[in-house]
A and B are shown apart, each in its own frame.
Chain A
Amino acid sequence: DAKTTQPPSMDCAEGRAANLPCNHSTISGNEYVYWYRQIHSQGPQYIIHGLKNNETNEMASLIITEDRKSSTLILPHATLRDTAVYYCIVQGNTGNQFYFGTGTSLTVIP
């Protein structure tokens, strides 16, 4: 039910951009892509979401491919506090629940 595929882990040097990929090849036309992160077993934190256009906010940028089958979350200047598990999520059919996969464990290295 997760509908997304992410690499299990990634490393990124502090100060560099972290690019986290996600495949969602079965996404349907009206389903949004959401990104959340979970820092050390805290509650998940909302990062960004989008439908088909690229999105940017104060935390990150979201790049969605034209066919919408994959996306990339970009943290432009990673810090040690960005070390977390990042979840790429496609909402459920009714839009009322999120299906979390196993996410990508990002480690930012000093």
Chain B
Amino acid sequence: DTAVSQTPKYLVTQMGNDKSIKCEQNLGHDTMYWYKQDSKKFLKIMFSYNNKELIINETVPNRFSPKSPDKAHLNLHINSLELGDSAVYFCASSLAEGAAEAFFGQGTRLTVV
């Protein structure tokens, strides 16, 4: 019944590794997002997709590559992880671009050691 689900919830990995975070929404929404939340709780948008098409890429290093196989899924792959990538990553979806309420997943806490 979970509207926006992301896995894993916790991810601890070493510097230099490659990891993926998966996100799925069962709300029938067209737009999905990835946000990064730092240790001070500041939220910064990373990517936005609408119907599998990339809409926003907010100056994110190209080590981060989103993939949307269909409009219900938006996965995030991260290459060559760095210490500064440690954060909580949130997936979200909304019915349409921009104007509507967004529904958030529970977050993935990524710790790079």
Chains A and B belong together in one complex:
no
Residues of A at the B interface (CB closer than 8 Å) are none
